[in-house]
Amino acid sequence: MTDLSTTVQLARELINIDSVTPDDKGCQELMIKRLEAIGFTIERLHFGDVDNFWAKRGHMEPLFAFAGHTDVVPSGPEKQWHTPPFETTIRDGILYGRGAADMKGSLAAMVTACERFIKNNPDHKGSIGFLITSDEEGPATDGTIKVIDYLKENNEFIDMCLVGEPSCTHKLGDTIKNGRRGSLGARLVIHGIQGHVAYPHLAKNPIHHIAPAISELTTIEWDQGNDFFPPTSFQISNINSGTGATNVIPGEVEVIFNFRFSTELSQEKITARVESLLDQYDFDYDIEWVLSGHPFLTSKGKLVDAAQKSITEITGLNTELSTAGGTSDGRFIAPTGSQVIELGPLNATIHKVNECVATKDLDDLSLIYEKILEQLL
């Protein structure tokens, strides 16, 4: 397949490596080799079991950075795939393989966009950075967040950042993520007294005690959202209790839940309201909160404008700004003051069997990235 573009060829090389999180297995070295060849200085940053790197070309402001991850989620049962998930196949212009859309295709497009841009603009203004991790699909504790801390310690601040997460819905370029909701999870344990179901007066059923509180939590209107964010959502993902026997009242119940919240709320407001509600009920409980990320928003400005203009020039589409979806590593970059957007291929097949991306979309995405560089630098 020598007639394939350099973007598709690099995407295939990356996808053929089974870099299931947090194992990079050489993906980053493939990128580093290409970036070194066009004048990038590389800092390999290893934290815990995670490989990361920071690459930079230039010393002037502004600093525009591409951000992304080389790790992928497990393939699931390989027999359910049309072809092996880590042996790329192209059928009718569609490239199949784990990570094709999330997000090795974007990584390839970033590299080839820079290769063309630097060839045509060897003395470009500003600086270009790459922040690449292998810990986005996992706990995300030794990846981007650690690299950002490292950059802060070295007085390095990203002015504008493009995260290559798959952002589009129906056509390449139809959606840019210019923000994300915050994610706040909790593990709530209600303590009761175990006993025989025939003698309920000698026991205290924690499931019965938590039921009214759960009902109230699910009916609260936390906020109404705003022009950029939908209303905050509360979802229970797990309830665990009991021994499995039908004649034993459980001694405790564990409830796992999550808030996806807008800029109308804060972590402190949510936790205070939940705990105030729980305190009104007659049960003993413990609660552990885990904040995965604060909400962030990049309003219209240089980065958003450059992305929208580039998309229109390459695809003819007027792109939509959105804050929907889950979290991304943008949540670690935005608090530094950086403008952050997410722009990548279609998200229809991410984390699914037979994950795929159109080869033309990868080529067009590389052109869009190149146009963004031209406008900003």
Q: DSSP of 11-25, one letter per residue?
A: HHHHHTS--BTT--T
Percent of the chain at pLDDT exceeding 90:
95
CA dihedral 14, 323, 269, 289 (to 10 degrees): -20
Looking at residue 265, its pLDDT comes to 94
CB 208 within 8 A of CB 229: no
Nearest to 352 by CA among 15, 97, 170, 86: 97
Handedness of CA 244, 250, 251, 257 (dihedral sign): positive
Number of CB atoms found within 10 A of residue 59's CB: 9
Strand partners, 91: 94
Amino acid residing at 211: A
Instruction: Report d(CA 53, CA 84) in Å as an integer.
Output: 29
274-312 b/e (C-beta count within 10 Å ≥ 16 → b) = beeebeeeebebeeeeeeebbbbbbeeeebbebbbebbe
Parallel, antiparallel or unpaired: strands 63-69 and 160-163:
parallel
Q: Which residues pair with 339 in a beta bridge?
A: 160
**pLDDT < 70 regions, the chain:** 1-2
First to last CA, the chain: 34
**DSSP E strands, 100-225:** 127-133, 160-163, 175-177, 179-180, 182-191, 195-196
Q: Residue 160, exposed/middle/buried by CB under 10 A (0-12, 13-18, 19+)?
A: buried
Among left, alpha and beta (phi > 0; psi -120 to 50; other), residue 254 is: beta
- Look up the pTM and report it: 0.89
Distance of alpha carbon 344 from alpha carbon 106, whole angstroms: 6
**Which bin fits 227, alpha (ψ -120 to 50), beta or left (φ > 0)?**
alpha
What pLDDT, on a 0 to 100 scale, did the predictor assign at position 326?
80
pLDDT score, position 325: 82
Handedness of CA 28, 31, 36, 37 (dihedral sign): positive
- List active site positions: 71, 136
**Maximum CA pair distance of the chain?**
82
3-state class (DSSP) for residue 59: coil
Looking from the CA of 44 toward its CB, the CA atoms found within 13 Å total 13
- Structure confidence at residue 324 (pLDDT): 86
165/280 Cα distance (integer angstroms): 42
Neighbours of 54 (CB within 10 A): 22
Instruction: Find out whether 64 and 310 touch, Cβ atoms under 8 Å.
Output: no
Residue 1 is predicted with a pLDDT of 52
Distances, alpha carbon 117 to alpha carbons 15, 164, 368, in Å? 24, 18, 11
Burial 105-130 (b: 16+ CB within 10 A, else e): bbbbbbbbbbbbbbeeeeebebbbbb
